[in-house]
Homo-oligomer: A and B are copies of this chain.
């Protein structure tokens, strides 16, 4: 178990993967209490109405839930998103967003988590509940 949370090395590997770099999303912390992410919304993230596309927010929420789960399962396990549901509660305007994830229920095979994103004014931008499959890595 990762009682002290995911190591800086593990976080670095996630931050270096393609999607995280593409959207500029970073995990800053993940332990048994949950995960923390940052993302700076730029014009490159926007749809036609000028605010962050749902995909950017959904991706951050998916990741925040996944890393919160990874921090509670053995190092040789991974998790895959079975499904997730997101409510978009306020526009993601250009600027810094903070994401957090936490585990709701963890079973031997399936885990349930939730995550949320807040803007600099601490307004709730999006909130998710999702289901993940645990698997053993090679």
Q: A: which residues have CB within 8 A of B? A: 13-14, 17-23, 42-49, 52-56, 58-60, 62-63, 78, 80-90, 104-105, 107, 109-110, 112, 114, 124, 127-129, 131, 133
Contact = CB atoms under 8 A, between A and B. Distances in A.
A59 B13 CA distance: 23
Given A55-B55, A55-B59, A58-B59, A87 B47 contact: no
A53 B19 contact: yes
Nearest to A53: B19
Given A14-B48, A87-B105, A104-B89, A127 B129 contact: yes
Contacts of A114: 129
18 contacts: A17-B46, A17-B47, A17-B53, A18-B46, A18-B53, A19-B44, A19-B52, A21-B44, A53-B59, A54-B58, A54-B63, A54-B84, A58-B58, A58-B62, A82-B82, A83-B88, A84-B86, A85-B86
User: Which are the 8 A-B pairs with shortest beta-carbon distances?
Assistant: A55-B59, A19-B53, A58-B58, A54-B62, A85-B85, A89-B105, A83-B87, A18-B46
